[in-house]
Amino acid sequence: MKKASKFITITLLAIIGIVIITFAGFYSNNKIKLKKEANLITPYGEMVKVDGGKMNVSILGKGDKTIVLLPGFMTAAPAIDFKQLTDKLQTNYKVVVVEPLGYGMSDDTTKERTVENITSEIHEALEKMKIKKFILMAHSISGVYSLDYIDKYPEEVEGFIGIDSSLPSQGEAEDNGEKLVRFLSKTGLMRLVSVTNPTMMNIPPIDNSNIEQFKYVFFRSIGSNAMTSEGGLMAKNFEDTIHLNYPENLPVLYIMSSESTSPDPTWLNLHKDMIEGRKNSKIEILEGGHYLHHTQSEAIVKYVNSFLNEHKL
């Protein structure tokens, strides 16, 4: 019995040792690659100092009208993620892609990601870039932040366009996987997961050189302090904005995905309720998933052009 017990103990210690060595290997490999990749990232945008760090803002095109783009939750490389859309929009508009703190090339932050902090930082960055009047376009969760932004700075926003954008009334924001993503990122296991399941990175259909850049920025920012805090505070941010609505005269366009609206009519109904009775607002539905700007950028631009022309924006 003693020999058996000793053998089991040694086996368990050996297994624990192998696990520790394996994790140490993934961790060290990730640190080495992050340092190497930092030198391979092609710089883009402009770093703007805000309360909490420096925020990266990219400006494309030289149109008379300005569109400000805000990313969805855990979109690790916003400027590249939006590339297919911004390539088309910049022909007619000045397009501003904001990478909030903890996203893309922006600094990370330990400041809580309350909706108030997020929107005040975006406002500060745009103000310092002298962007005073614009159409606000938001993907996913940024639809909620946009409501708060419009409420606080109504004189700046001439119209709102949501790309399958979220609303605080949707609820169910308690588990966003932010802790698991942070664990995978900090241990280096995210690289292994991304190799075995490339869809984890949600890479847009772009050329190979941009795919490489996307990956470098993805591993740099995914699982950041900011993203982790944002996921944990999402339910509270919904509660804090549940009372908000758009100004009566603000044109609103929701561009929604069929994969979000078809299985659950509640998603569509929530958006209908938000703009009920508003003659200057409408909903368009496009075939595809939540990241419509990856697959339907051309159709999105057509809707944007038509909507802005119709309302003389």
The beta strand positions in the chain, using DSSP E, are: 46-50, 53-60, 66-70, 94-99, 134-139, 157-163, 252-257, 281-286
Place of tokens 């993907």: 139
For residue 242, what pLDDT is reported?
96
Distance of alpha carbon 270 from alpha carbon 260, whole angstroms? 12
Report residue 11's pLDDT band, with 50, 70 and 90 as the boundaries.
very low
Across all residues in the chain, what is the average pLDDT? Answer: 90
For residue 189, what pLDDT is reported?
86
Report residue 311's pLDDT band, with 50, 70 and 90 as the boundaries.
confident
Report residue 279's pLDDT band, with 50, 70 and 90 as the boundaries.
confident
User: Which residue intervals of 129-275 are DSSP H helices?
Assistant: 142-152, 178-187, 189-196, 208-221, 225-232, 234-241, 258-261, 265-274
Assigned token pair, 313: 């924006």
Distance of alpha carbon 85 from alpha carbon 301, whole angstroms? 7
List, for residues 135-175, the tens digit of each pLDDT value: 999 999 999 999 999 999 999 999 999 999 999 998 777 77
Closest to 253 measured CA to CA, from 179, 188, 191, 308:
308
pLDDT over 80 (residue 202) = yes
Distance of alpha carbon 246 from alpha carbon 251, whole angstroms? 9
Place of tokens 């700007």: 293
Distance of alpha carbon 152 from alpha carbon 247, whole angstroms? 11
Distance of alpha carbon 22 from alpha carbon 20, whole angstroms? 5
Q: Please, are residues 165 and 148 in contact by the beta-carbon 8 Å criterion?
A: no
Distance of alpha carbon 71 from alpha carbon 285, whole angstroms? 19
Assigned token pair, 25: 């290997």
Secondary structure class of 163 (helix, strand, coil): strand
